[in-house]
A and B are shown apart, each in its own frame.
Chain A
Amino acid sequence: MASETIIQGSVTRDGEPVNGYVRLLDEGGEFTAEVPTSATGQFRFFARPGTWTLRALVPGATVDRQVVAAQGEFTEVAIAV
């Protein structure tokens, strides 16, 4: 864990987990990775330190969140759509 940079969190709508996708975009807005959310709305990326944009895609909505990730830390992001 000490060397890893993890960005994780959940996507919810009205407090309930929602199935969809989360995209990880780099500082320049370029696509880096995408994962589907789990049954409980969770997602996780193994990234590198820096500024990232998380883009949640769910039926009927797209929501962006800027995050700054640091090495050796979990960056937790709760995204409400």
Chain B
Amino acid sequence: MSRSDVLVDADWVQARLDDPKVVIVEVDEDTSAYEKNHIRNAVRIDWKSDLQDPVRRDFIDQAGFEALLSAKGIANDQTVVLYGGNNNWFASYAYWYFKLYGHGDVRLLDGGRKKWELDSRELVVEVPERAATAYKAQAVDSSIRAFRDDVIAAIGNLNLVDVRSPDEFSGKLLAPAHLPQEQSQRPGHVPTAKNIPWAKNANDDGTFKSDDELRALYQEEGVDLAKDTIAYCRIGERSALTWFVLHELLDQPNVKNYDGSWTEYGSLVGVPIELGAN
């Protein structure tokens, strides 16, 4: 797989705003950003109300994903281009869902909303009308999702990449400083995890760093790229971006996102926890 199969630039998107084979989807941390404006013909997926199971702590099931994409007017044979704010943080999380449920062709807009804005490209308020489809999802691809027992088994054996900020990793904070504190019981990190904050994957303008820069970033922090990797953060969204970098851009064969992440691990009874910096 090459970079262009998973990542497209703003010119590529600009040229396909009216292409019936392409669906542009905005997914933002700030779910109201779409209402302010968005790329013309883009639809919105809300990471909170659309992608989470309304009762259990889990993501939506296969039938739920089919219903969501059908209602959004997204068909199996269309190319889905995801974008959002904050270096594509939540767009990457949605990308991981599309891969979990086996969508054929899904890509990220490099730089996301920020790059589009900094380029002074067109943004509109008009919401497109799309006819409903009959979307068929595949069974969940569990090879890209880690559960808590996978994480415990990985301690000292596989790469564990903790992508939270240094203050969360060391145990000074339980959540990023600008967010509500959805708390785990205990601060800290999984023993042997390397702390490589997710934002290090991106340039100032939100585009991803080059493959060589990214490879060097992980190797310099002690990640053995010959081994399998589990990435985690607090609730599995920032780590979906790191999963994208390792699995999709750098073609690492076995990378899992642990979406239970620290809010689960830091509340488990009896598991090992480490405090302090890398």
User: What residues make up the interface of A, taking CB atoms closer than 8 Å to B?
Assistant: 19-21, 23, 31-34, 36, 46, 55, 57-60, 62
Contacts and interface: CB of A to CB of B under 8 A. Distances in A.
A38 to B, nearest CB: 12
Contacts of B177: 33, 46
A45 B178 CA distance: 9
Given A31-B199, A33-B178, A34-B86, A62 B204 contact: yes
Contacts of A58: 118
Given A33-B178, A34-B86, A46-B177, A20 B204 contact: no
A59 B204 contact: no
Nearest to B113: A36
Interface of B: 85-86, 114, 117-120, 165, 177-178, 197, 199-200, 204-205
Given A31-B199, A31-B200, A57 B178 contact: no
A59 B119 CA distance: 6
Contacts of A23: 204
Contact of A59 (B85, B86, B118, B199): B118
B119 A57 contact: no
A57 B118 contact: yes
Given A34-B86, A62-B204, A19 B178 contact: no
Nearest to B118: A59
Contacts of A36: 85
A59 B205 contact: no
Contacts of B165: 32
Nearest to B200: A31
B117 A59 contact: yes
Contacts of A33: 177-178
**9 smallest beta-carbon distances between A and B, as pairs:** A59-B120, A31-B199, A59-B118, A57-B118, A46-B177, A21-B114, A57-B204, A23-B204, A55-B204
Nearest to B30: A36
29 contacts: A19-B117, A20-B117, A20-B118, A21-B114, A21-B118, A23-B204, A31-B197, A31-B199, A31-B200, A32-B165, A33-B177, A33-B178, A34-B86, A34-B199, A36-B85, A46-B177, A46-B178, A55-B204, A57-B114, A57-B118, A57-B204, A57-B205, A58-B118, A59-B117, A59-B118, A59-B119, A59-B120, A60-B120, A62-B204
